[in-house]
Amino acid sequence: MTSCITYFRPFIRHGKFLIHQREVSTITYITNFFSKINPFIPTQPPAIQPLKSQRRKRRSIDPTTSEGILLFEIQELTKSLNIEKYRISHDLIKYYKNKEHFRRIENLEIIAVSSTGKGIGIIDSEIDLNAKTIVVIPFTLKGDIVDCKIGIHQESFAEGHLLRIVKPSSSRDDSLIKCKYFNSCAGCQLQMLPYSDQLEFKTKVISNAFKQFDFNTRDLPIRATVESPLQYQYRTKLTPHFNSNRKDIKIGFERDHEGRKGIFNLNSCEIATPILNHALQENREELVKIVESYKKSGTILLRDKSIENNIDYTTNHKEIITQKINNFKFQFPAGEFFQNNNSILPSVISTISSFIDKSIHKNIIDTYCGSGFLGISLSDKVDKIIGIEISRRNLDYAAKNAQLNGLTNTEFKFGSSEEIFKDLIDLNPQESVVILDPSRKGSTEDYLNQLSNFEPDLIVYLSCNVFSQARDLKYFLKQTKNGDKYEIQLVQGFDFFPQTKHIESLVVLKHK
């Protein structure tokens, strides 16, 4: 009995909850049960330890990651709601991590949606009846009333798992959901939201990102997010995971369902192109054969290689893929980076084009150039394109793609983007456009300082992580030598990834 009391102690003190939601936790049952059979079980909560002694040194959290974004947005929300005390005891974090205890909450109202695409609700803390616990619940919208169970506790919030929508938000339309795995698969977050609302959500994410990095968003030219012509069936590459158990092979994605994790079998993905769905369904035996040849878990590549009337896919990382965007052809190895949603690429190119003035701009410096997609697509706007890329395989294809499209005005260099600036001494900065399109983590201070010293007339920053983009732009504008000589002329999202929380963001800066 003593060990039972020790085991349940953190919860027994909360046999009585004074909360707005009706709580039906297993703990309540257990507490009631033990209270009945053992009168020595304390009915009053023991004194709560002073905050100070419970506080651990906070690890530093990268503000451009999901965790950092949530932390910032939760702080903003609690400030706006005047909730001074929201916390989770570290004893409880440890407890939840070690034992699988779930607390069930009924009729919880979702009061906001974070830029991570997850809804946020507030419940009373389990450790301190005067404090609140923030709950973050995937697949929910502002205004939904839900039943959920509370799982693992993180430092600033608890993970909630949706059990049931009790009353839907006025924005929710579940008839729009096309995928049978929606609510279970971690891939898409927004299928229940009408597409125009998805675009609005993404514009707000962009605004949140700039706000997080101290921009006054009212002064920024943030334009409405550009829609994707294809809202389903657009993804040209999938990388399903497989497990290590060869007797029960599963090929699919990470589950995100009622707190259960792990890979689940998936034989369709509504956002992927039809040929990739064919691979997942009809050609599943082929995929299983490939997986059988591996000993461990991993991912399998599915790359759409359809072009014109030739509809096909490959699983071979080295196979050379050809894609046609506008009037240009691009080749690259199937396992290397290429943009994933071809349908929206022409509108990105035409937006960037609209800022390039043939009478002023003579050079484009395409940094983080991959296989040359941006520079080559804009090659008819200027006299010279110089690209730089850190992946040798991508770089080789940038040079080959220039040839494939009959271009003679390009030069592609191998190296890290910071190294390009020393080679630009012969170029007139006032005639130059610098494009940067780094990966999720963004650029570096070294790069941004050199960019500022070079002082090009136009800077075009395309990013799949608007939070690292906003961080970089804050640094560039405020902390580099010539940053204050630039003004932001455009901030615009492009919906490269409909039905998901992701957004591609384009920012254009012009020398004043």
Ligand X SMILES: C[S@@+](CC[C@H](N)C(=O)[O-])C[C@H]1O[C@@H](n2cnc3c(N)ncnc32)[C@H](O)[C@@H]1O
Determine contact, residues 460/435, Cβ cutoff 8 Å.
yes
> Is 232 annotated for ligand binding?
no
If the CB atoms of residues 107 and 391 are measured against ligand X, the closer one turns out to be 391
Residue 488 in contact with residue 508, Cβ under 8 Å? yes
Q: 462 is written with which tokens?
A: 């395309």
On whether 475 is known to bind a ligand per the annotation, the reply is no
Residue type, 156: S
Of 416, 423, 427, 511, the residue at the interface with ligand X (CB under 6 A) is 416
Find tokens 């960019």 and name the residue.
451
**Residue recorded with tokens 């000993």:** 295
Contact range with ligand X by CB under 6 A, out of 59-67, 222-230, 308-316, 431-439: 431-439
Q: Which is nearer to ligand X, 171 or 391 (CB)?
A: 391
∠ CA 488-493-498, nearest 5°, is 175
Is-catalytic flag, 464? yes
User: Which residue from 27, 7, 9, 4 is spatially nearest to 17, judged by alpha carbons?
Assistant: 27
Spatial distance between the Cα atoms of 299 and 382, rounded to a whole number of angstroms = 41
Give the Cα separation of 300 and 265 in Å (integer): 13
76 annotated among ligand-binding-site residues: no
| Position with the least CB separation from ligand X | 370
Least distance from ligand X to the Cβ atom of residue 367, Å? 6
Distance of alpha carbon 103 from alpha carbon 28, whole angstroms: 9
Interface with ligand X (CB under 6 A), residue total 18
Q: Looking at residues 92 to 121 of the shown chain, list those that interact with ligand X (rule: CB under 6 A).
A: none
Which of 313, 355, 368, 454: binder of ligand X (CB under 6 A)? Answer: 368
Minimum distance, C-beta of residue 337 to ligand X, in the bound complex (Å): 4
Task: Check residue 259 for interaction with ligand X (CB under 6 A).
Answer: no
Cβ closer to ligand X: 108 or 436? 436
Nearer to ligand X, 287 or 473 (CB): 473
Cβ–Cβ under 8 Å, residues 335 and 358: no
Q: Is 343 in the site for ligand X (CB under 6 A)?
A: no
Q: H helices of 194-249, where?
A: 195-212
Shortest distance, CB of residue 272 to ligand X, whole angstroms?
19
Site for ligand X in 370-399 (CB under 6 A): 370, 373-374, 388-391, 394
> Token digits for 288?
């299983």
CA distance 204 to 220: 13
Name the burial class of residue 310, with classes exposed (0-12), middle (13-18) and buried (19+) by CB atoms within 10 angstroms of its CB: exposed
Query: Exactly one of 148, 185, 188, 464 is catalytic; which is it?
Result: 464
Span from 177-185, 197-205, 434-442, 498-506 in contact with ligand X (CB under 6 A):
434-442
The rounded distance, in Å, linking the Cα atoms of 209 and 211 is 5
Query: DSSP secondary-structure letter at 92?
Result: H
- Does residue number 339 form part of the binding site for ligand X (CB under 6 A)? yes
- Using the contact rule CB under 6 A, the part of the chain among 78-86, 165-173, 367-375, 490-498 near ligand X is 367-375
Q: Is 234 annotated as a binding residue?
A: no
**Residue number with CB closer to ligand X (243 or 465):** 465
Q: Is the Cβ of residue 322 or residue 439 nearer to ligand X in the bound state?
A: 439
Helix (H, G, I), strand (E, B) or coil at 147: strand
What are the b/e assignments for 318-346, b being 16+ CB within 10 Å?
Answer: eeebebebeebebebbbbbbbbbbbbbbe
Residue from the set 411, 439, 482, 511 that interacts with ligand X by CB under 6 A? 439
Residue numbers in the known binding site for S-adenosyl-L-methionine are: 339, 368, 389, 437
Residue numbers in the known binding site are: 339, 368, 389, 437
Residues in touch with ligand X (CB under 6 A):
337-339, 368-370, 373-374, 388-391, 394, 416-417, 437-439
| Active site residues per annotation | 464
